[in-house]
Structure 1
Amino acid sequence: MSPPSDLRPYLRTLDAETLADLLHAQAERDPELRHSLELRAATQSGDVSEAHRLLDAAVTDGNVEYTAKVGAVLDTLQRMLDAGSRADLAPLARRTVDDISEVLEQSGDHVGDLGDRLDRAVELYARACAARPPDPEKLADWILEVEFDGPGRPVIDLAEFATALGEPGLKRIKSTVDDVLAASGPGHRHDVAERLREQLAEVVGDVDELVAILSAKPPRVDVSLKIVRVLRAAGRHSEAIAHAARALTHDKQPPAPEPLKSFGGPGGGAPGPGRNPGSYSDETSRRRKDFDAKPGRETYAALREAATADGKWTAQRRAALTRLRELAADRPEQADELARVLLDDGRPDEAWRACVRFGASPELKLELAEQRAAEHPAETIPVFREHVDELIERKDPQAYQEAARRLKLLRTLHKRAETPEEFAAYLAALVETHRRKTRLITEIRTARIAMPKAVTSHRAPR
């Protein structure tokens, strides 16, 4: 089956009135698009009151309409953050997180589109806090309330909020975590405190504390690899080598025999209906072991299939992605694997952020930039500029022609991002640098890109 054709070249031939009619007709059929357009119109000046009004109205709607309105609010938040809005977006982002959490708690259903929107809302709240930090201790109190007294979701990643929390916020969280660990026995609060304790050690860079926490866990491949990575990052290479050697020796120990009750009978066979869900016969457990041994796109997909069938995917997904992010941070070549996994999950925004954060390959960054250019022009401009440089370095006619085509796209992206003057300055510098490449200059003129005055006033050299 051939992929759908790109309609943008045709759409660019239409006049503004025809495009407006087409978009309006589609918005009448698509509630999420309609809400998104309404918010775009209302927030041009940075005023987010319309987004709050939409959330006020959303609570009385059915699930589908509520999900659509929340999606429109999240799109608006992301658009304004991407554009570097000076508005304080943290209160709106936090309210969105709290509203979605309340709806999910009432419904008891933490999977599906609304559950995905909660994860996205938390990420946008973290970005909004980084852009305009709120009171750090109040932010810490909110995180503690969500973690200890919430329904179990969302699960906060302290690293995302570390900048906004600063020393005062992190100190407040540590004080509460220490108190919980000292006062509580096994249970939900103790487990949450242990997880936050590990995150705190990682965020503040306390290597000894982090290694001690990890070493106290049951021996697993992913835990051992994380200890090695932490020690290497701290420059403690001899300790990293020693730990890797101990872990390798442990892995070579013969495995304990599997209990017969996990199987259909003495001869093996299929698992019976009363199997122990924590045994190796559990499909999710087996797929998790496969992923831990070889984290990647293939083993992640198998784990997702098994865990989804068992209703365990939410927790498994978070742990698996944490491992993939650790690998990407340690080995940049793993960034592509992480991004592809996120794309397979239907999370293109997260895939893009992984590419930017961990340094994915130019090929993948360009692929994602082409997908994001229409909605997020400012984000993708640096990627297309790098591509233009790479094309020019090839020094062949076809590459020059493609570079001119990309320059035309960049001109459009700068217009959409409302930074046309930046494109003019960029083009002037590029032409000045490559003014002796007459074929390139010819292709730029052929693409009908207005040349800088310094070039147009002189005849190009032969």
Structure 2
Amino acid sequence: MASVEITEQNVRSQAGEEAFEFGRSLADRGVVDAVTVEGTRVGAHVEDAAVNLLVTTAGLDADCAHTHCAAPVPRLCEHAVAVALTWLRSGAERREPDLLAVLRTKDSGWLAAKLAELAAGDPALTSRLLEAAGGPDALVVQELRDDIASVVAEMTAERDDGYYEFDEWYPDTEDLEEVLDDIEGLLEEAPDAVVDLTEDAIRLLEDVLGDGCFGSDLPDALARAADLHLDACRAGAPDPVALAGRLLAGALRSGWGTFDNLAEYADVLGPEGLNRYGELLERERPAPNGSGREPYRLRKLREGLARAQGGTDAVVEFLARTASRSWDFVHIADVLIEDGRDDDALVWITRGLSDDPADPRLLSLALDCHRRAGRDADALEVLWTRFTTAPTVQTYVDLTDAAGQDATWGARAMELLRTRTVEHADLLVRILLRQDDVPAAWDIVQNHRVDHDLRMRVVETHARTHPEDAIPIYRDLAETHVRRGSRPGYQDAIRCLLTAQNLAGRCGQETEYSEFVAQLRAAHPGKKLLQQLLDRAGLQAPG
């Protein structure tokens, strides 16, 4: 088949005189090293930065890692020139592979355009191409392509005109679903056409969904188009190299996770397509974000590539390279658990806990693994660790519920809290109230600072059996509220006084209570509003 030859003159023509001369000086100085040649690809390093060349029928395409050369340009940069000249001078095999190998690096759109261009004005060639292409009438495919664009354009216009309900947009997707039905009808006859049509549909739908204000039907239509794309790829014979490029481009563009699950396409892509995907993904250079870690989006795509190439073990190997935080170990454990490998997951959970013994996510995963395996004793140990590192009512309840009839775990927990009563007074009181141990809770609120509302819960409960103990507390609160000097303060004070009055009546302390009210009135003779409110409440001094 046809092939092309790369010469210094080719390189000069593509680069221009200035870049060519600069590149030649770099080559002459010997700054190009690690030159590798694989088929149509030439790779090297120039001044510690990677430069890759791809030989095409049009000449050389270059990808240069130097900062000021990162953006694609029509001409070769000086670093690409240096690599090309070093390669040419080395005498390494420079013959281009056959035309088919080169064409396979191009996507279907480029190939279709070139074929149409070559066939223009040549009826015989046009006829041969149409006959060879077979499949549905080209007009049918084009009509479907136009239908997709038209339906989505109408939706976009509706959205832009502000047809919203409850701050959301609920487009009518009936026409869209009909078009997708028609596309699905081509799946058996022309799967490759369905691949192209669904890629158009996905791109258009993601664009119209970009504002994030919509009902559920439109995302469902996007998911259906993505499923159709996968089915069509499996049923057809898309070029794996070109498909890899489109899948990566779609995944990078998408904000909807479309094409994220590369493993679904693994059989279609094969080793060649997956390798190409990896090459293209390596070219994605994230902007510095100050964290020292790769952006989440690129990292997830690399994880997806690892899964597609080697399954769970490859994913774990990939994640382990940079595992340093608790979340990293959680993620690895999740991957293994999803694959049914709890014991392997526990190894990584243990590693994570060695750095952060209190991480609740790792402890929860460990607990689930032990429970699924029926290791009740190990599960109890995890629950104990979770309680001691983060003591709450819930972690206490989880521990005692799992212990069942074994009361020693609950006793250990309470003993631990009692040794730290100053720190955990609130928690102790809440647990004691759950256990109906009101006397113990009362003792704590009398001797330690606790939350006000919690303290009053204990006071109210204790007052049911010991009203005389609660009266002084309500009297003190009444005086505190009076000192606020406002109507709300006086109203709160009266509520406390009325409660104290009820308690005094239950324990025969009416006289003492009346004397207290008289003293309170006498202490604030100038607070007329207070005196009026006390009168209205019937809280008068004894006559």
Query: Quick check: TM above 0.5?
Result: no
TM-score range, shorter chain: 0.3 to 0.5
Pick the structure with more strand per residue: 2
Specify the structure having the higher radius of gyration (Cα).
Answer: 2
Pick the structure with more helix per residue: 1
Report the TM-score when normalising by structure 1. 0.37
